Structure 1
Amino acid sequence: MAAPLVKLVVKWSGNEYEISDLISTNTVKDLKNVIKLKTGVLPERQKLLGLKLKGKAPVDDVQLSELKIKPNMKIMMMGTCEETIAAANEKPEDIGEVIDDFDFEETEIQTNQREEFLKKVERRVKEYEIKVLNAPRPGKKLLVLDVDYTLFDHRSVAEHALQLMRPFLHEFLTAAYKHYDIVIWSATSMKWIEVKMRELGVSSHTDYKITFMVDSGACITVQTPKYGIIETKPLGVIWGKFESYTPENTIMFDDLRRNFLMNPQNGLKIRPFREAAKNRSHDTELLKLTKYLEAIAPLDDLSSLNHRHWERYLLDKRK
């Protein structure tokens, strides 16, 4: 009797690669060789996220039959092509100003006041389930953080996730935790949020705790006059589920301004962290934002601030 086929999908560098030419008696090394043919990443530079044997990453000689791979199961690969490694050794360039996907004018779109969108938020409050990891702390404000391009360069490739982590991430989260409960909100699936947080060491850090994580299921779509239908992150979902969190004590960091459409007074657009290999040596965005969070923590109403001018606010505080 022939060994059963193994079919799975490998996600890497923003693309998906179908693997369907292996059988259960093939090994992890065989899988890596097939991935190498499809992506160009050498087997020794591959790190496969999602494959486990007794809670640990399997070694190369483990047969695929031991890994209980479900049909069309998706796994993530971290790894770097030789060409990319060579490019990473070039002299780093300054981080250029990244143009936002949409340039919203506050007077043009008042989505946060539209009844049909508020009803969508109400439905999310009723239907979306939030798994609390650590209980909200009395008296703390709320910091909501995006993942991709905010804390992590998800498009670049590397041998390890830590090479794609934004500089000073743990220092930033440790300092913020003194005054803010921390929530992670990414417009992706919870599975990938959990993988990224685990690989970055955020989930297990001893100096701070994540209160809970939110995925794409809590996002809503809105109709805008100029840009049509787009997806956004309504903080009202969190406010509707937790009485302790309000517009007055919440701030959200995201690299896309469109994610603030339902709560424009609570959003701060962070500079995107891209091309990690080139830019991680001189990206200090999180260090500067640490100072901003500390400066505004004593205020009663964070929504009264214009977070677009956070750098000017810090300069004025120094005078």
Structure 2
Amino acid sequence: MAASASNSSSSEEEITLTVKWSGKEYTVRVCGDDSVAELKRRICELTNVLPKRQKLLYPKVGSKLADDSLLLSQLPLKSSLKMTMIGTVEDDIIVDQVDSPEIVDDFELGKDEVIDIKDKDVNKQKLRRRISIYKIELRNPCREGKKLLVLDIDYTLFDHRSPAENPLQLMRPFLHEFLTAAYAEYDIMIWSATSIRWVELKMGQLGVLSNPNYKITALLDHLAMITVQSDYRGTFDCKPLGLIWAQFPEFYSSRNTIMFDDLRRNFVMNPQNGLVIKPFRKAHANRDSDQELMKLTQYLLAIAELDDLSHLDHNNWELYSEDGPKRRRHA
């Protein structure tokens, strides 16, 4: 493993790692301010071994590489040593994500804390690096004059943990009606914290990728996410919309983008554009009563006429009314 410094600060130091896996050696470039989770994402880009399948071995580090939140600058990386990765590619049989750890503590971030995170230079640098590395592949062309709707999958469109013989039993009620209505005013991208192959599999099984009434503009996966640091919450992953805006600036910006996710932390780099959707869990018990997508359809269509969405408080979306005075009061 070779290490070289591009800045005097250890946190900004660029590190070139040699990772050995399955008889081959791979070169991975990271920075000291990256986390172990970020390192695993980079390794996944080269090997297709999902981060959750990776076991990293490095002399005298012990179990520290199992802590995804640990920063690489905290590890004693030496130029003469190589890192070994043990892991299996999920080829034809894709293991469902139900065995992945579930995030249940969607902590509330204070307003000042959110501002601090999104304005930190180190986090802006991570976003710039991600923009340079991750290229969004369009499934369908961006449409002039349309706003952008970015959707999470797990617990937003789909209950990924309940057992079922058919994935359609776990689909959120009114999903296709919701997407059809939204498509009239919005381009639609789907962004999941899982692998792109799992995104394609689930969306294919639910009929989202082949529905004749709407088209999905692009799919994004965990490799598009970045790890940020909070002085109070430590390190965690988030979905920076700036990645999309940088690659399609002529179509999308903070003014015309809205993102649905059941985890508020995913909005930390763009808090004004995020709407926390009620999680869809226990599909068998709730699929006859869940009205969330139907209600949000009305909201999306009502705000679509606005020139700038960035001034809306999406926390109050249920109070939003097409009645003029009420709209101005809650905007």
1:271 maps to amino acid? K
Please identify runs of 4+ aligned residues in structure 1 that moved more than 2 A. Answer: 70-78, 314-319
Number of equivalent positions = 233
Q: Normalized against structure 1, the TM-score is what?
A: 0.69
1:75 aligns with 2:93: yes
Q: 5+ unaligned residues in a row in structure 1: which ranges?
A: 1-14, 17-69, 79-97
Gap change, CA 1:218 and 1:77, over 3 Å in 2: closer
Question: What residue number does 1:108 align with?
Answer: 113
- Residue 218 of structure 1: CA displacement? 0.7
2:114 maps to amino acid? I
Question: What residue number does 2:76 align with?
Answer: none
- Residue 109 of structure 1: CA displacement? 2.9
Contact kept in structure 2, 1:100 and 1:257, CA below 8 Å: no
- The counterpart of 2:244, out of the listed 232, 238, 249, is 238
Higher relative contact order (CA 8 A, sep 6+): 1
Question: What residue number does 1:45 align with?
Answer: none
RMSD: 2.2
What is the CA–CA distance in structure 1 between the aligned matches of 2:255 and 2:163, rounded to whole Å? 39
2:135 maps to amino acid? E
- Residue 103 of structure 1: CA displacement? 1.0
Gap change, CA 1:318 and 1:151, over 3 Å in 2: farther
Contact kept in structure 2, 1:133 and 1:211, CA below 8 Å: yes
Contact kept in structure 1, 2:127 and 2:243, CA below 8 Å: yes
1:42-70 Cα deviation digits (max 9, x unpaired): xxxxxxxxxxxxxxxxxxxxxxxxxxxx9
2:275 maps to amino acid? L
Any residues of structure 2 matched to 1:32-51 within 5 Å, and which? none
- Residue 123 of structure 1: CA displacement? 1.1
1:250-302 Cα deviation digits (max 9, x unpaired): 00000000000000000000000000000000000000000000000010110
Q: 5+ unaligned residues in a row in structure 2: which ranges?
A: 1-51, 54-87, 97-102, 327-331
Any residues of structure 2 matched to 1:25-36 within 5 Å, and which? none
- The counterpart of 2:142, out of the listed 136, 143, 165, is 136
Any residues of structure 2 matched to 1:107-186 within 5 Å, and which? 107-110=112-115, 111-186=117-192
Contact kept in structure 1, 2:302 and 2:322, CA below 8 Å: no
1:102 maps to amino acid? F
- The counterpart of 2:309, out of the listed 298, 302, 306, is 302
Any residues of structure 2 matched to 1:183-198 within 5 Å, and which? 183-198=189-204
What is the CA–CA distance in structure 2 between the aligned matches of 1:263 and 1:104, rounded to whole Å? 13
1:105-133 Cα deviation digits (max 9, x unpaired): 11233211111111111111111021110
Q: Normalized against structure 2, the TM-score is what?
A: 0.67
SS in 2 for 1:248: coil
SS in 2 for 1:287: helix
Larger radius of gyration: 1
What is the CA–CA distance in structure 1 between the aligned matches of 2:196 and 2:204, rounded to whole Å? 12
Question: What residue number does 1:88 align with?
Answer: none
Identity of aligned residues (%): 57
Contact kept in structure 2, 1:152 and 1:273, CA below 8 Å: yes
1:287 aligns with 2:294: yes
2:200 maps to amino acid? E
